[in-house]
Structure 1
Amino acid sequence: MKTNVYVLLGGKSAEHEVSLKSASAILNALDKNKYNVYPVFITKEGIWCSLGLLKKEIKSVDELQVESKDSISTSIGKFLMEIFKDDEKSIIFPAIHGTNGEDGTIQGLLELIDVPYVGNEVLSSSVGMDKVIMKDVFSKHNLPQTKYVSIRLHRWKEDEKKVYKKVEEQLKYPYYVKPANLGSSVGINRVENYEELEEAFKEAFKYDTKIIVEEEVIAREMQISVIGNDDPKVSVPGEFIMERPFFDYNAKYIDGKIIPVIPARLAPEVSDKVRELAVKAFKILNCHGLARVDIFVTDDNEILINEVNTMPGFTAVSMTPVLWKATDGTTYPELIEELISLAFERYEQKKSILRTR
């Protein structure tokens, strides 16, 4: 009997469109001779819409988008009652980035319904999603990183000038101002002066009630993929040729002009240290399945952890599949297969834990 794979996509997130691109690639890569593949589109309002058994190649993300008049709770109930079969072997692949997909909330739901799912669990997802909490945890473990300050919306509304003064006292220009809980460079701005700082705060607070301000570090950013459960493996580092001060949303997903360099241009001993730091960060956050770790390397070979992405993109320009192809020849379909295998492995491990006395 084939295993059912339910691929969740879209979502109530500013990264909704990115998810559609990731999911379409995943759906096409899944072996239809081995799996019954079911795309489940989640609208921007949070309504779940099953598209039924996938029988053809997805050629456009438009094919994945449907409408429904159901409420959120009704739509989830329909999925569980009418679509999801308890008596069949099933697994869920949450190909959702950002809010409600990468932040532990959907992982909590999947834990409650007791179904295997690909990727990180509640704790690692939520901590990895919140850049402030993540950096606080890294500080506790003495991982090297750039200086940062976090600001909450209510403090900013109480006294904007006081907040700006605090930032300027603790950090040196230029800064990066970011929503604490978002990815794909949404809501992020680089600022060089007070006026730009004001505008960047307004933009970032559109997407979150907490933001982080980071002091710029002059460095190249390495991206490393880590895959596994208890004994994770690490890819070679990769990097992008920089054509802008930072890669905003358009550079990543629309312009298509970024150029990956794999392996990254690092001395062997520096590459080894970068990979070691990536695995350390993966373990500190209690990650399982996969993560992409972003690390800065300066011209003096100083190494600084930037962030961990617990559900990295799987688009055509995404690093994760390309890194593994360069590391050990793993193909895209083989990577998907490995992630599913890791998910079942972790599920069985958790099932063996006693829940009662």
Structure 2
Amino acid sequence: MNSSAPAVTPTGDSTARPRVAVVFGGRSSEHGVSCLTARNVVSVIDRGRYDVTTVGITPDGRWVRDDLGGVVPDGGLPHVDPEGAPFAWEELRDVDVVLPLLHGPWGEDGTIQGLLEMAGVRYVGAGVLASSVGMDKPFTKTVFSAAGLPQIAYVTITPRQWELEREKVLDRVRALRLPVFVKPARAGSSSGVTKVDDPSQLVAAVEAAREHDPKVIVEAAAIDKRELEVGVVQRLDGTAEASVVGEVRNDDATHDFYDFEAKYLDGSSANLVPADISDVLSERIRAYAIQAFEALGCEGLARVDFFLTGTAPDGLVVNEINTMPGFTSTSMFPVLWEASGVSYAELVDRLLQLALQREPGLR
């Protein structure tokens, strides 16, 4: 991709710098990850081509101007400065495109996308429906099932079922056979996830997940699994292409699974890119990734995660999709594209150009 091409503007005036609002932070448990993503992304946006404004959303939902200059604590993550000057969301009508670098509920789940659609503002990434379905793991699995994608067995627990039919629910979970993973239905970065090896741990695990989301999903454990990931990005003509396949390696015995600390804080996980798999399997995974992207009606970008395990009939299952994946310079998504020949800066530029040429509204 030629990153020196003239920037697209809604008015068609290639001499004007498109105005970009980068929105980050938010109310979810992934607030700090979002801030880290924003720091990295803003650092590579070409200020000669784009006029950039940075807007933070505090954990209590206030919008403020934040220049991303705060000090990051050792072993911690940045956060939105609550003392920043207030920013009225209506001011987004004054920009050409919004880059919503929000992870988790109240951002990645279609909420800010709906706000921007109502305001008639262009934005990067999936629309309202794809964002919402992609955030809700049980609904994602319903769509994937309809698309014929292989998945692992699971049980959904709604708030009403947990309150009124708890024993029936627990019987359904036990039928999956232990171990299982208990997760919030609409959270990311492994927040609130518990691996359960003993039936006596189930209730506590569900309650821990419910601290993040009243709806819970329980998945059968993928035994001896390998975790494989693929990035999907649209070309400027709207067609989707898949990156090389990468593998997440977590060889630290202190982590039972790829949890929040392993992902972001203690450096115990590593990305192997490209993954050590056959060309035939790689092409199959990449085809599944595009199929998943299109099944949800995604736009812009997504990361699709897979398990390669002996528990599935053919060893491969789709785990989930992230419509706004982690986007730090060392996150798997940009690393996959770097290995596929698209640099971090070129990737950000492509996403902005895609959004600038897309009209808001029904499409």
TM-score by length of 1: 0.88
Displacement after TM superposition at 1:65 (Å):
2.6
Return closer, same or farther for 1:323/1:152 CA change in 2, 3 Å cut-off: same
- Which residue type is aligned with residue 125 of structure 2? G
Return closer, same or farther for 1:45/1:266 CA change in 2, 3 Å cut-off: same
2:268 counterpart residue number: 257
Contact 1:270/1:301 (8 A) holds in 2: no
Return closer, same or farther for 1:153/1:331 CA change in 2, 3 Å cut-off: same
- When you count helix as a share of all residues, which structure comes out higher? 1
1:312 to 312, 325, 340: 325
2:10 counterpart residue number: none
Distance 2:48 2:179 in 1: 53
Q: Residue by residue, what CA displacement relative to the aligned partner does 1:14-39 show, whole Å, maximum 9, x if unpaired? A: 11111010011111111111112111
Return closer, same or farther for 1:151/1:85 CA change in 2, 3 Å cut-off: closer
Distance 2:358 2:181 in 1: 37
2:106 to 100, 118, 129: 100
Distance 1:185 1:273 in 2: 26
2:156 to 150, 158, 164: 150
Give the match's secondary structure for 1:26.
Answer: helix
In structure 2, stretches of 5+ residues that fail to align are 1-15
- Which residue type is aligned with residue 200 of structure 1? A
Distance 1:352 1:113 in 2: 13
Distance 1:302 1:316 in 2: 31
1:203 to 208, 227, 231: 208
Establish whether residue 167 from structure 1 lines up as the match of residue 173 from structure 2.
yes
Q: Residue by residue, what CA displacement relative to the aligned partner does 1:83-135 show, whole Å, maximum 9, x if unpaired? A: 4464xx52100001001111001000000111111111101000000000000
- Which residue type is aligned with residue 234 of structure 1? A
Contact 1:227/1:289 (8 A) holds in 2: yes
1:238 counterpart residue number: 246
- Which residue type is aligned with residue 46 of structure 1? G
Establish whether residue 291 from structure 1 lines up as the match of residue 299 from structure 2.
no
Give the match's secondary structure for 1:66.
Answer: coil
Displacement after TM superposition at 1:167 (Å):
1.4
Contact 1:39/1:64 (8 A) holds in 2: no
Distance 1:18 1:164 in 2: 33
Give the match's secondary structure for 1:187.
Answer: coil
Contact 2:303/2:333 (8 A) holds in 1: yes
Alignment size in residue pairs: 336
Establish whether residue 190 from structure 1 lines up as the match of residue 195 from structure 2.
yes
Distance 2:157 2:79 in 1: 37
- Which residue type is aligned with residue 354 of structure 2? L
Distance 2:269 2:283 in 1: 25
Q: Residue by residue, what CA displacement relative to the aligned partner does 1:58-96 show, whole Å, maximum 9, x if unpaired? A: 5745886322599xxxx66x342xx4464xx52100001
In structure 1, stretches of 5+ residues that fail to align are none
Identical amino acids, percent of aligned pairs: 40
2:345 counterpart residue number: 333
1:36 counterpart residue number: 51
TM-score by length of 2: 0.87
1:16 counterpart residue number: 31
Contact 2:183/2:194 (8 A) holds in 1: yes
Return closer, same or farther for 1:168/1:324 CA change in 2, 3 Å cut-off: same
